[in-house]
Amino acid sequence: MPRIVIVGGGLSGLAAAYRIRQRLPAGEIVVLESAARPGGNVWTERDRGYTVELGPNGFLDSKPSTGDLCRSLGIDSQLVAASEGSRKNRFLYLDGRLHKLPGSIPGLLRTPLLSLGAKLKLLSEPVRRRPRELPPDETIAEFATRRFGREVADTFIDALVTGIHGGDPAKLSVAAAFPRLPKFEREAGSVIRGFLRASKEKRRAAAAAGQPKPGPPRMWSFAGGLRVMIEALSATVPVQTSVGVRRIEKTESGWRVRGDGTDAWPADVVVVTAPAPRQAELLADLDPALADEIAGIGYAPIAVAVLGYRRADVPHDLDGFGYIAPQRTRRDALGVQWCSSIFPDRAPDGCVAWRVLCGGTGRPDVMAWDDETLLRKVHEEMTITMNVQGRPVFDRIVRWPNAIPQYVVGHRERVARIESHAARHRGLILGGNAYRGIAMNDCTEQAERIADDVASLVNASS
Ligand SMILES: Cc1cc2nc3c(=O)[nH]c(=O)nc-3n(C[C@H](O)[C@H](O)[C@H](O)COP(=O)(O)OP(=O)(O)OC[C@H]3O[C@@H](n4cnc5c(N)ncnc54)[C@H](O)[C@@H]3O)c2cc1C
């Protein structure tokens, strides 16, 4: 009976364990999680009528992997879609007010966010020639400036990077963080042409399969929050919480995973999904060079302040997802998600629930603020940007020092080196959001690949 130990009970570890169990029903699988609960970044609290997401707010249906996992777990009937308004209306806070982000060509022509020159530059992207030799990797800022012009890069692309990565567009790799963009340029000669071509292909495939015409991606969660998925996963695989793994050792017959104290778990295969700095610590004795490579993956810190306000104290109609303040504006809040406008029942009657995201690589100083200071600053920010008229009636703060791995230029090459190095250690598999995608969808997609790899290893040995 193969013994498989998974280190880290976040979404990556739990989903991998679930998919491994499907492929190897006779396997002895255990997930070791250092925290007192499973889920890692993904967790929901319910308190005084508020449903509070501490990490992600939802997952997109732009990739099928998380939806497939929910169907496989039998929890898909509990899924709730984000409101139509939140899908259509997203805002940018710039020059002292909220601007609706344009969602169409006429909207783009009308937006005051860009000069006429910048609009023309953006609209002429499909006919802009692709350089004869494309750089192997570029920063997001370089790529966006080259394709769309500086204003679009500084305003829209910065906002996109702030909202997803909390990182610096002048450092992050476009190929690692947004692989579709350089692919479109490479294959279609232009990002816009590539995007239109891909959308047409998607529509054609949906029509051929008798499915409705696909729209823009939609965000999903559960009435009870994303914790529903974590609880469903944890019910299918044994998870031992409050077990901090300290070392991973090679033995004559395979592996030994050592926890705090004297506990040790023998294993044929070890899957490590803890955040990169922890992976590096666990592997430091086994392979210092591999550990050094992994330790080179940095993270953006994020502080999430969940605030409840009385609806009557908020003059805005709140028909939307929320807003982002581009990082170059260096505001105290990177952005705000209007959670009770996105999903139903997130706040008690007569109240709203918002998540204010602070920090990122541009404002790590925010992480040192104590709760009182952070609350005061985010509330002040809400009086400025949202014109709120009363004090918060609910608050909850959570800090994620290692929130989002930063895929800087050279990340893909680093991952290739890590993978080829790790391949020398048969039975050791590295995963988690540090390598090939930071979204929940990437973690659930990766789970299938990990399960395939574990199954081939086990089947080859037997
Ligand atoms: C604030 C925030 C908002 C986000 N918003 C979204 C969103 O809206 N949509 C989306 O798709 N994605 C979002 N993400 C990203 C997504 O949540 C993560 O990429 C994903 O949850 C990562 O899962 P993981 O299992 O790879 O890592 P983690 O969640 O970090 O899990 C790793 C686990 O390993 C455990 N661990 C660490 N060290 C040890 C050890 N020594 N021994 C045992 N266990 C250990 C940790 O306790 C943790 O539980 C967001 C992330 C954050 C932080």
What is the tens place of the pLDDT at every residue in 272-331? 999 999 999 999 999 999 999 999 999 999 999 999 999 999 999 999 999 999 888 889
Determine if ligand 1 sits within 6 Å of the CB of residue 443: yes
pLDDT band of residue 411 (cuts 50, 70, 90) is very high
Atom 1 of ligand 1: nearest residue by CA position: 55
Atom 4 of ligand 1: nearest residue by CA position: 56
Domain at 3-40+226-297+407-461, CATH class: alpha beta
pLDDT on residue 104: 85
The chain-wide mean pLDDT, for the chain, equals 95
pLDDT on residue 93: 96
Determine if ligand 1 sits within 6 Å of the CB of residue 400: yes
Contact yes or no for 128/190 (Cβ under 8 A): yes
Give 309-353 as a DSSP string: EEGGG--S---SSEEE--GGG--S-SEEE-HHHHSTTSS-TTEEE
- Quick check: 404 pLDDT over 90? yes
pLDDT in tens, 437-456: 999 999 999 999 999 999 99
- Quick check: 462 pLDDT over 80? no
Atom 27 of ligand 1: nearest residue by CA position: 10
CA 102 to chain centre: 23
pLDDT in tens, 151-194: 999 999 999 999 999 999 999 999 999 999 999 999 999 999 99
**CB burial of residue 365 (10 Å; 0-12, 13-18, 19+):** exposed
Residue 129 gets the label, from left (phi > 0), alpha (psi -120 to 50) or beta, of: beta
CA within 13 Å, CB half, 309:
25
Determine if ligand 1 sits within 6 Å of the CB of residue 415: no
State the average pLDDT over residues 419-429: 96
pLDDT on residue 75: 98
Atom of ligand 1 nearest to the CA of 13: 25
pLDDT on residue 378: 98
pLDDT on residue 445: 98
Architecture of the domain delimited by 114-208: Orthogonal Bundle (1.10)
Q: What is the Å distance from ligand 1's center to 273 Cα?
A: 9
E strands, 385-460, in order: 394-405, 428-430
pLDDT on residue 346: 97
Atom 30 of ligand 1: nearest residue by CA position: 40
Closest by CA to 42, choosing from 450, 448, 444, is 444
- Quick check: 108 pLDDT over 90? no
Q: What is the Å distance from ligand 1's center to 358 Cα?
A: 17
Atom of ligand 1 nearest to the CA of 11: 25
Alpha-carbon distance 26 to 372, whole Å? 51
Alpha-carbon distance 67 to 50, whole Å? 25
Q: What is the Å distance from ligand 1's center to 439 Cα?
A: 9
Q: What is the 3-state secondary structure (H, E, C) of 214-250?
A: CCCCCEEEECCCCHHHHHHHHCCCCEECCCCEEEEEE
Determine if ligand 1 sits within 6 Å of the CB of residue 433: yes
Query: Ligand 1 pocket test: which of 37, 41, 441 has the largest number of ligand atoms within 8 Å of its C-beta?
Result: 41
The encoded tokens of residue 36 equal: 């007192």
E strands, 84-181, in order: 90-94, 97-100
Atom 7 of ligand 1: nearest residue by CA position: 56
Determine if ligand 1 sits within 6 Å of the CB of residue 27: no
Q: What is the Å distance from ligand 1's center to 40 Cα?
A: 5
Atom 17 of ligand 1: nearest residue by CA position: 56
pLDDT on residue 360: 95
- Quick check: 227 pLDDT over 90? yes
Determine if ligand 1 sits within 6 Å of the CB of residue 402: no
Q: What is the Å distance from ligand 1's center to 330 Cα?
A: 26
Phi, psi at 461, each rounded to 5° = -70, -35
Alpha-carbon distance 67 to 1, whole Å? 31
pLDDT band of residue 418 (cuts 50, 70, 90) is very high
pLDDT band of residue 106 (cuts 50, 70, 90) is confident
Q: What is the Å distance from ligand 1's center to 413 Cα?
A: 23
91 forms beta bridges with: 100, 323
Domains in the chain: boundaries: 3-40+226-297+407-461, 83-104+300-405, 114-208
Closest by CA to 110, choosing from 95, 98, 99, 96, is 99
Alpha-carbon distance 324 to 90, whole Å? 8
Atom of ligand 1 nearest to the CA of 431: 26
Determine if ligand 1 sits within 6 Å of the CB of residue 13: yes
- The CATH number of the structural domain formed by 83-104+300-405 is 3.90.660.20
pLDDT on residue 216: 85
State the average pLDDT over residues 231-246: 97
Determine if ligand 1 sits within 6 Å of the CB of residue 264: no
The encoded tokens of residue 67 equal: 């939806």
The reply to whether the predicted model has a pTM over 0.85 is: yes
- Quick check: 262 pLDDT over 90? no
Determine if ligand 1 sits within 6 Å of the CB of residue 182: no
Instruction: Give the H or E element holding residue 264.
Output: strand 264-267
Determine if ligand 1 sits within 6 Å of the CB of residue 9: yes
Q: What is the Å distance from ligand 1's center to 10 Cα?
A: 5
- Quick check: 350 pLDDT over 90? yes
The strand pair at 239-240 and 245-250 is best described as unpaired
Residue 438 gets the label, from left (phi > 0), alpha (psi -120 to 50) or beta, of: alpha
State the average pLDDT over residues 391-403: 98
Atom of ligand 1 nearest to the CA of 438: 19
